[in-house]
Chain A
């Protein structure tokens, strides 16, 4: 059985959600303030890296049920789609639009199509990092996998 550090496990569980929220904050803040899809993606990847260190590949892929290369392809497609979309209306590639709504309680919400582009970048970064983890593998992939599958059944 793979040795799992209790301290690392607990810390990762505490930090993981907060890091993901931070990464989403960075993604949305990126339009006017420091942040953006790339940085947000990196923070999310950092959170996933902690997961990988604590629990190995199995734990990682239980967290993210989507295959990494689908994330990568989806991100790339999203990026190209945002680049292409304005061209159907006769505009230049990557042209962006901004929308503003006055929402009750929350105040004014502003949304630019550049955020969709950033979300694509975010997905590309996360997908690529996950593919690297998959390439690195586990130090004892075969054993731990079968053991943990056994645990799940019990």
Chain B
């Protein structure tokens, strides 16, 4: 049981060490990378099954019990997100192996990717605020390097933005941590729950807001989102896809965890979160409508969709949080698959500028079908997974009586659909592009690689369909997770053994 909680963090680190050691052979690196992530997802499935039956699993690293030592906590919310993240990372790794790019030219790709996976697992499983900071740093270090692996000038430039924002967010996080520790004398999340409640209201709300700002930068909510559409689109397609799918959602995860577990409901006006959510949705989608590059357009959609998750948190009901959890699972899969489709388009036609593309539906019908499924799911058309997520959010909004945010979210859905049809009508409709233009400057990968990439993208789209198909059981799981979040008694007993 203990092992199941710790292994998702340690295994990818061991994989990274192996991957560096076999750096001479790309084939060995690939075997190590894929095997590590396969074993990791198997372990996470086992962990999810176990904790859904027996309740929260806790391990105290080094045998030092909480609140002194570092605690890893696996509850339903963390592990369901971890599982979908690991599966997504596995699919993206297969895609990256096929793509002529960073994975093939740089020996560092596989170790960095596995270290990123370790950081992702640690940030979901940690039960300690300082350890969350460490996990963020591990992810940042790996992502700085992954973002600039290509070494192109524009990649380095946008990498600089990303590094600067990362450093500012880390510094703010460290300051917030210092405030938390100075006022309570602990950084263990479960221990903080009781100690923060005893603080004077002013200090409490200051701590809450400073953590919201830190995680707001990470998750790119309005008005802290500006760095994202600038830095994501330039990286290699698989790197952008995994960042877009995972990193911002981990910010949202941290926000939900800290706001539900650490701060009593009267700490600060939670309606403010709904305002932020609404603005994030609207500004993000308006930005997206104005774009002409597929990847930049999708990057603005990341921002817009984050608004929906924050809305679920802002409602602060079991239904709202369950909907948010379900929506994050859906977004991780769908957003990643859309970026992979964008990568495939660019590889096939040498560009992802909408004004240059035409007739892709005739040239690549399979790609067209994959894009259509993922895009409609993002826009929330029934019966796809986005529809289920948005329906749950709208339902929760009505349940909480927040009609304004429900109205905003529906209007933004329409605009999302509009910008998806913009990609569809520009890139996929129309007369097929001439082959000369189509070849472009990019390398054409061989058939096996193209099949691997297409299969990886197809698997992710199939996963999003599966989410829609098994929406019932998944939503019930999300509801149980939301119950745990709003009533942390079981979390506290599990960690503190009281």
Contact = CB atoms under 8 A, between A and B. Distances in A.
B59 A92 contact: yes
A77 B10 contact: no
B86 to A, nearest CB: 18
Interface string B1-45: 011001000100110111011010000000000000000000000
Contacts of A29: none
Nearest to A91: B63
Q: How large is the interface on A (under 10, 10 to 19, 20 to 34, 35 or more residues)?
A: 20 to 34
A94 B14 contact: no
Given A91-B63, A93-B2, A73 B18 contact: yes
Contact of A80 (B2, B17, B61, B62): B17
Nearest to A81: B14
Given A83-B10, A87-B3, A94 B16 contact: no
B60 interface: yes
B62 A94 contact: yes
Interface in B57-72: 59-63
Interface in A87-129: 87, 90-96
A18 B187 CA distance: 40
A91 B61 CA distance: 9
A92 B61 CA distance: 6
A69 interface: yes
Contacts of B61: 92-94
A8 to B, nearest CB: 33
A70 interface: yes
Q: How large is the interface on B (under 10, 10 to 19, 20 to 34, 35 or more residues)?
A: 10 to 19
Given A76-B20, A77-B21, A87-B2, A93 B62 contact: yes
A72 B21 CA distance: 8
A19 to B, nearest CB: 26
Nearest to B118: A80
B323 to A, nearest CB: 35
Find the residue from A80, A81, A90, A96 having the highest chain B CB count within 10 A.
A80
Contacts of A76: 13-14, 16-17, 20
Nearest to A83: B10
A20 interface: no
A84 interface: yes
Contacts of B2: 87, 90-93
A115 to B, nearest CB: 14
Given A92-B61, A93-B2, A94-B62, A84 B10 contact: yes
Interface string A38-80: 0000000000000000000000000000000110111011011
24 contacts: A69-B23, A70-B20, A73-B17, A73-B18, A73-B20, A73-B21, A73-B23, A74-B21, A76-B13, A76-B16, A77-B14, A80-B10, A80-B13, A80-B17, A81-B14, A87-B2, A92-B6, A92-B60, A93-B2, A93-B3, A93-B10, A93-B59, A93-B62, A96-B62
Interface of B: 2-3, 6, 10, 13-14, 16-18, 20-21, 23, 59-63
